[in-house]
């Protein structure tokens, strides 16, 4: 029996065991398998391990997407997490490319995936508060939001959760150095039913521009003199 003689449901089940590249390769072999690849039901879950994977044409974004994860653990994540004012020209160019890639992809998710239930972003140093705000507005059924080592996330995201996270059940903001204890308390006050975790975040040193750091140092010296 040839694989194409199986019904569509069986083919969908077989495709579900393959990674994105294998699905794409198999879809190129005949029209029947291409139709299976294009079925939105096949793409209820997507996992990515680097920003470069977001630009590949080996997946489909659609209303069936429920679970999305972008977890980047490369050494290059360290570059993205450096304060902008400390980066050299090469590092800024590198980060600008990643920022466009990730933010453009998340914008597509907002436009095409209104039924998203879970989003995990780890090591995505260029994701902004505006992106998360738009996601919360565009995906009203979002139940789980996990942000780890996303250095541009601030209390504005926590405020967005308080205002627009009606369906949210779980919120993690681990190692996000620019959020504060005040922001976390705001979420606890406005969304008491949300399971909130903020490992290390509010205890980390937030970003600040050089002139701000200089002012803090001068203030510290004055206190010492007193």
DSSP for the chain, please give it: --GGGS-HHHHHHHHTTS-HHHHHHHHTS-HHHHHHHT-GGGGSEEEESSGGGGG-SS---STT--EEEEE--STTHHHHTS-GGG--HHHHHHHHHHHHHHHHHHHHHHHH-TT--EEEEES-TT--HHHHHHHHHH-TT--EEEEES-TT-BHHHHHHHHHH-TT--EEEEET-TB--HHHHHHHHHH-TTSEEE-SSGGGSPPP--HHHHHHHHHHHHHHHH-
pLDDT digit string, tens, across residues 107-151: 999 999 999 999 999 988 788 999 999 999 999 999 999 999 888
208 vs 29: which has the higher pLDDT: 29
pLDDT digit string, tens, across residues 33-67: 999 999 999 999 999 998 889 989 999 999 999 99
- Shared domain for 164 and 118, answered yes or no, is yes
- Shared domain for 38 and 51, answered yes or no, is no
- Shared domain for 118 and 75, answered yes or no, is yes
- Shared domain for 165 and 75, answered yes or no, is yes
We report the CATH number of the domain holding residue 4 as: 1.20.1280
In the prediction, which pLDDT does 121 show?
94
pLDDT digit string, tens, across residues 199-210: 988 776 666 655
- Shared domain for 94 and 83, answered yes or no, is yes
Flag whether 160 is in a domain. Answer: yes
Q: How confident is the model at residue 224 (pLDDT cuts 50, 70, 90)?
A: very low
- Shared domain for 77 and 156, answered yes or no, is yes
- Shared domain for 105 and 53, answered yes or no, is yes
Q: Which domain holds residue 215?
A: 44-221
- Shared domain for 71 and 121, answered yes or no, is yes
**Residues 6 or more apart whose Cβ sits within 8 Å of residue 93:** none
Flag whether 152 is in a domain. Answer: yes
pLDDT digit string, tens, across residues 84-108: 656 666 566 656 666 688 889 999 9
Flag whether 226 is in a domain. Answer: no
Q: How confident is the model at residue 72 (pLDDT cuts 50, 70, 90)?
A: confident
């Amino acid at each position: 029996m040839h694989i194409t003689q199986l019904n569509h449901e069986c083919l969908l089940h077989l495709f579900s065991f393959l990674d994105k590249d294998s699905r794409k390769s198999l879809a190129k072999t005949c029209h029947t398998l291409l139709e299976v690849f294009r079925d939105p039901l096949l793409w209820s879950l997507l996992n990515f391990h680097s920003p470069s994977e977001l630009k590949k044409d080996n997946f489909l974004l659609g209303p069936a997407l429920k679970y999305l994860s972008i977890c980047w653990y490369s050494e290059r994540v360290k570059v993205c997490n450096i304060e902008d004012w400390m980066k050299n020209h090469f590092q800024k160019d590198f980060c600008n490319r990643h920022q466009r890639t990730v933010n453009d992809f998340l914008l597509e998710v907002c436009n095409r995936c209104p039924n998203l239930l879970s989003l995990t972003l780890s090591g995505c140093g260029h994701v902004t508060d505006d992106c998360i705000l738009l996601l919360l507005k565009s995906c009203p059924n979002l139940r789980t939001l996990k942000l780890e080592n996303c250095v541009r996330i601030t209390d504005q995201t926590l405020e967005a959760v308080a205002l627009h996270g009606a369906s949210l059940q779980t919120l993690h903001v681990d190692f996000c150095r620019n959020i504060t204890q005040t922001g976390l308390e705001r979420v606890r006050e406005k969304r008491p039913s949300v399971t909130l975790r903020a490992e290390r975040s509010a205890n980390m040193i937030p970003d600040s521009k050089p002139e701000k750091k200089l002012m803090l140092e001068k203030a510290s010296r004055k206190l010492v003199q007193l």
